[in-house]
A and B are shown apart, each in its own frame.
Chain A
């Protein structure tokens, strides 16, 4: 079974803090994704990585950065957290190529006070 894990299920941070969200997959997938999910808006892509050290902006990259130093790990960084970044953050991975399903992590519910 593909396993995608995220470092925390719940996280509470203060405005201005630097926040790291970690995602690890154990199936040697090329592609990894970070989404945020907000009520009424669905899942929106923040960043996407198709290989180690490669990244591509998604639909809402502002206020976020990412790091992929190893194939299995994809980190999402909030350089200076703000209250409008309170959300559910979901990581996913896929093998790549046409027609492959995405495997999701359990999500991190981040609250910024």
Chain B
């Protein structure tokens, strides 16, 4: 079973700061997902990646397959970025995801 660890568990930053959230996993994967969950529960998929780097607006996700590590970066952070960010991995030959416990991000105006 893949073990997925996220750090930090909680992060508070000032508006405008550059944010980095980390995810590491123990077994090789076919894909890694970054998800966002706002208060109230709904989860939205931000990125799905298996190599390299993806960018969407102020969000950037990178993955290093050899290191079994991924990072989610937020540039010019804003209070509306406050949410829980969840990393999830898919093992080879499997539709199921294994989830990290999430990083709670709070951006202060």
Contacts and interface: CB of A to CB of B under 8 A. Distances in A.
Interface of A: 31, 33, 40-45, 48, 50, 58, 88, 90, 92, 94, 96, 98-107, 109
Interface string B22-52: 0000000011010100001111110010100
B44 to A, nearest CB: 7
B42 A102 contact: no
Contact of A103 (B30, B31, B45, B50): B45
Contacts of B31: 98-99
A102 B33 contact: yes
B95 interface: yes
Contacts of B56: none
B5 to A, nearest CB: 11
Counting contact residues on chain B (CB < 8 A from A), the size range is 20 to 34
Q: Shortest 7 CB-CB distances between A and B: which pairs? A: A107-B41, A104-B43, A42-B101, A43-B99, A101-B45, A42-B99, A106-B42
B100 A58 contact: no
Given A31-B95, A94-B95, A99-B31, A106 B50 contact: no
Nearest to A108: B41
Contacts of A96: 95
Given A45-B96, A94-B95, A96-B95, A104 B101 contact: no
Nearest to B102: A42
Contacts of A94: 95
B86 interface: yes
